[in-house]
Chain A
Amino acid sequence: AQKVTQAQTEISVVEKEDVTLDCVYETRDTTYYLFWYKQPPSGELVFLIRRNSFDEQNEISGRYSWNFQKSTSSFNFTITASQVVDSAVYFCAYGGNNAGNMLTFGGGTRLMVKP
């Protein structure tokens, strides 16, 4: 069965620091997708990125960047120059073609950015 692990349950940083959120997954699927979602205090789930298993190219979007390494089954998320508005719970999620079409979420990492 697929499994997503976010070992960091809580991270606290000071504004402008860089922070990396770790995500490790387990699967036997050959084709799969990895996602990151942000859940601010208001509760909604905000889609950040989707990656398929054949695309290991790192991606940068503004202050956000993602590092996908299939060899270590990791899909880490880095926020550069963090801001207070980045404070939220971040979920890494897995979707596999052989696992139905549901998302399997990691336990989430609560990021607190202090001014």
Chain B
Amino acid sequence: AAGVIQSPRHLIKEKRETATLKCYPIPRHDTVYWYQQGPGQDPQFLISFYEKMQSDKGSIPDRFSAQQFSDYHSELNMSSLELGDSALYFCASSPRFGMAYEQYFGPGTRLTVT
């Protein structure tokens, strides 16, 4: 079965650079979530989209922005990168909006900021 695709899988950037992470949800899933997992930490919710509109916002820095496109893929844009942004970034998709539906996680993008 098709899974959530994230690209790139690994990314190395320098401080103050920008990064764009991409997420392709499972086909026919219209809801996308982004989570950030720092080293040794639990995943923290950043932002979610339903039908191309932002639905919820968590602890996402102002330097980050995200959107969901007409084909339901989503991109997380990160500017002025800081060392503390080094983390595993997960995208998850869900067939519908709402807690009654499982969130299927992608393999993650490991971002290293040097």
A residues near B, CB below 8 A? 32-33, 35, 37, 43-47, 50, 52, 91, 95-97, 100-108
Q: Cβ of A101 and Cβ of B97 under 8 Å apart?
A: yes
B residues near A, CB below 8 A? 31, 33, 35, 41-45, 48, 55-56, 58, 88, 90, 92, 94, 97-100, 102-108, 110
B102 CB, nearest partner CB in chain A, Å: 6
B104, closest chain A residue (CB): A47
B92 CB, nearest partner CB in chain A, Å: 8
Q: Cβ of B45 and Cβ of A102 under 8 Å apart?
A: yes
- Report the bound CA distance from A106 to B37 in whole Å: 12
**Residue of B33, B44, B92, B100 contacting most chain A CB atoms (<10 Å):** B100
The interface residues of chain A lying within 8 Å CB-to-CB of B90 are 45
Instruction: Give 10 CB contacts A-B under 8 Å.
Output: A35-B102, A45-B105, A47-B105, A50-B102, A101-B98, A103-B33, A104-B45, A105-B43, A105-B44, A106-B42
The interface residues of chain B lying within 8 Å CB-to-CB of A52 are 100
Majority SS at the chain A contact face: strand
Whether A43 contacts B108 in the complex (CB less than 8 A), given A33-B100, A101-B56, comes out as yes
Contact of B99 among A91, A101, A107, A108 (CB under 8 A): A101
The interface residues of chain A lying within 8 Å CB-to-CB of B55 are 100-101
